[in-house]
Amino acid sequence: MKVAIVGGGVCGLSLALHLKKRGISARVYERVPEIKPLGVGITLLPHAMREFSALGLGEELLAAGIENRESRFYNRFGQLIYREDRGKFAGYPFPEVGIHRGKLHLILYNAVCRELGADAVVTGHECVGVDQDENGATIRFKEREPVRADVVVACEGINSPIRKQFYPDDKVVFTGINTWRGVTRRKPILDGRTYMRVGSINTGKIVIYPIVDNVDGEGNQLINWMAEIKRDDARAQNDWNKPGNLADFFPIYESWRFDWLDVAQMIRDADQILEYPMVDKDPIAQWTFGRVTLAGDAAHPMYPRGSNGGAQAVIDARTLAECLANATTAPAALKAYEAARAEPAAQVVRTNRAQPPDFINIKVEELVGDRPFDNLDDYISQNELKALSDSYKRVAGFALADVGRLG
């Protein structure tokens, strides 16, 4: 069986490695002319690290990032709402790791070149569509020769042209939430191993976590942060991957100076700021069309909340490889993969919209009235907050009881 993978991101590269482990030939076709370490931070949750560890990359990723010990939720006045242990410190068999997205990408890319050969990732190939018949599928590229394969897997992200071919009216869903992401070099915050969610999207929210230790040889860390705000004008969608304008969002955070962190100064000191709209797409029940299927963000783009987009993509990759290895025909394998993954992924999309992990912050803000509190237990107990956190983990597939097994 020959598998052509369109898109050389986290999902496509992971799929190539999983197929290699099962003796299936694969080649990755990537649009950009050169693979470069782009982006800012990403958190690899325990179920994502489970998948990467199955590929033999767990220790390398852990060494390249920072292992989170705990997660903390704060209101916009800097008051602690809730804390919980994370990863191995919470009893999981795998760690939770904050890492630069570019480092993750290069580790996967180098592994593919090492395991499958230097020609396994073909760059400069922009897919414009796919055709198929009973015996195989043909990928069409812009200004390149077409490629024939037994199976084509679309892993080219939220703007997948292959998905667009099967869903011509497909469009992103934007509900008025814009985000700005940055990285700042500074001394460690708290213990230097904490993932922080501060505020809510209604009045201003920022997620903060370290991704590189001792980045300058002087003990400073590279801190990743993402600011989010929901505005009434849903038409005011910001751009993709372009430099962020401080004036567009900084006034919300200018007064955020806590005894444990000066948020305003951290934003001012950023090495780089990018802006993104917070978008996803409505879930679709059908991912597979004959010998063509969707995976990762091409199948289920979701809000970047709960660090779950990457995890769901690599679960797709392993599940699809298993189905291709075990089924009698390629179309049957792709349908089995769709049956296993479409609804669980759709559930995460819906949960990230309605009740994401930072719903804790929103709930407290509503109960207290968006003001400092004297005793949070007068409004909601720690056990009730834990129940909200545990509910998200169950839906997202990384409840403690679930991570030790594949599924």
| 397/249: higher pLDDT | 249
- Interatomic CA distance for residues 26 and 268, integer angstroms: 45
Domain with 24, as residue range(s), is 2-41+59-64+105-171+282-354
Is the torsion defined by CA of 108, 22, 58, 207 positive or negative? positive
Domain count, the chain: 1
Question: Is residue 301 one of the residues assigned to a domain?
Answer: yes
Question: Is residue 29 one of the residues assigned to a domain?
Answer: yes
Question: Is residue 381 one of the residues assigned to a domain?
Answer: no
Question: Is residue 182 one of the residues assigned to a domain?
Answer: no
Q: Both ends of the chain: CA-CA distance in Å? A: 24
The CATH number of whichever domain residue 314 belongs to comes to 3.50.50.60
Asked whether the predicted pLDDT for residue 407 surpasses 50, the reply is no
- Interatomic CA distance for residues 321 and 342, integer angstroms: 15
Amino acid identity at 63? A
Q: Write out pLDDT tens, residues 219-261.
A: 999 999 999 988 776 556 656 667 888 999 999 999 999 999 9
Asked whether the predicted pLDDT for residue 403 surpasses 90, the reply is no
Question: Is residue 272 one of the residues assigned to a domain?
Answer: no
Q: Write out pLDDT tens, residues 105-131.
A: 999 999 999 999 999 999 999 999 999
Please give the pLDDT value at position 402: 79
Label residue 9 left, alpha or beta by phi (over 0 means left) and psi (-120 to 50 means alpha): beta
Question: Is residue 299 one of the residues assigned to a domain?
Answer: yes
Mean local confidence (pLDDT), 166-177: 90
Question: Is residue 152 one of the residues assigned to a domain?
Answer: yes
Question: Is residue 206 one of the residues assigned to a domain?
Answer: no
Average pLDDT value for the chain: 92
Mean local confidence (pLDDT), 180-185: 95
